[in-house]
Amino acid sequence: MFRSMFLKKLIDLILYSNLFIACCAVAMTWQTQLLLGHSIGFTPLVGLIFCATLVIYALHRLVGMSKVKEFLEVERYRVIQQYRHHIWAYAGLALLGGTVSFFLVPFSVQIIILIPAVLSLGYVIPFLGKKSLRLRDIDMLKIFLVAGCWAYVTVLLPAAESNMLSSPHIWWMATERSLFVFAITLPFDIRDLKVDGHNQVRTFPAVLGLEKTLSLTGVILMIFSCLVYFNYSDIKIISAMLLSAVSTFIFIWLSPKYRHDYYFTGLMDGTMIIQFLLLMASVHFL
């Protein structure tokens, strides 16, 4: 009993302190560096992306609690509410670390990171109209913002650091990354149908229904796979990415059967780490 309670508290700490999603951002950044032929490690850019992700997701969870007061019986919201002071503390430490990292990255990166920074803050902080809406509260917009910002941060920032933004390969990679993130974000919209409906936010599942939304993820991952095939010449890279697409689609298709948030915050977000690990294994061990 004690072990199971300890394990649950540990998992809650990793997931809801936003450490896990920050690690996902690091994995996607390392994946880009790996695909560009660079060595991976804990550089100032990686530190900046880790800290910025932790801060933004902490704000998203804590500010968003005002929108879900009627759903505090849902376990993830109850855990976030219970540990909100811890989350603020981690966000404060990450803000400090991110500030230091910001001044250590090249000036070109400092300039272009302002765009996703502003969009991300607009995503989580209410500032629109009398109802104090966030960008994520605008119908259909939030999933495009999530996919676009993740591609921008984990592809374009490493490319800018390496002075490779002018390469068409980079922009195809960014498109491919945004499609993957778009696909794995749709199950979260399925999970959040009641909350989004309560807040009068129309999402793809609300408009298309469950089956068509799941089919849409399949189409998106097929387009992702086609881009991978044409954007890379190494069969090991292609195989790893295609295996990631297939396994991710299976996880997405099964997602409506699971109600526990670990499946989403753990496994669905974790597909980014899985993709990176498959790629690293194919490059270094096959």
Q: What are phi and psi of 128, to 5 degrees?
A: -105, 120
Q: Is the pLDDT of residue 59 over 90?
A: no
What is the H or E stretch that residue 264 is in? none
Q: Is the pLDDT of residue 197 over 90?
A: no
- CB-based contact 49:157 (threshold 8 Å): yes
Q: Is the pLDDT of residue 155 over 70?
A: yes
Task: Of 35, 49, 38, 166, give the one whose Cα is nearest residue 113.
Answer: 49
Average pLDDT score over residue span 231-244: 94
21: three-class secondary structure by DSSP:
helix
Average pLDDT score over residue span 195-206: 80
Assigned token pair, 45:
């850019």
**The most confident of 15-24, 66-75, 84-93, 270-279, by mean pLDDT:** 270-279
pLDDT of residue 238: 95
- CB-based contact 134:126 (threshold 8 Å): yes
pLDDT of residue 70: 60
- CB-based contact 236:283 (threshold 8 Å): yes
State pTM to two decimals.
0.92
Average pLDDT score over residue span 109-125: 89
Tokens 């002071």 found at: 85
Average pLDDT score over residue span 29-57: 94
Give the tens place of pLDDT for each residue, 248-282. Answer: 999 999 988 887 888 988 999 999 999 999 999 99
pLDDT of residue 130: 62
- What b/e string do you get for 155-193 counting C-beta neighbours within 10 Å, with b at 16 or more? bbbbbbbbeebeeeebbbbbbbbbbbbbbbbbbbbbbbe
Average pLDDT score over residue span 52-59: 92
| Tally of CA atoms within 13 A in the half-sphere of 3 that contains its CB | 0
Chosen CATH of 2-284 out of 1.10.10, 1.10.3470, 1.10.600, 1.20.120:
1.10.600
157: three-class secondary structure by DSSP:
helix
- CB-based contact 184:136 (threshold 8 Å): no
pLDDT of residue 6: 78
pLDDT of residue 64: 67
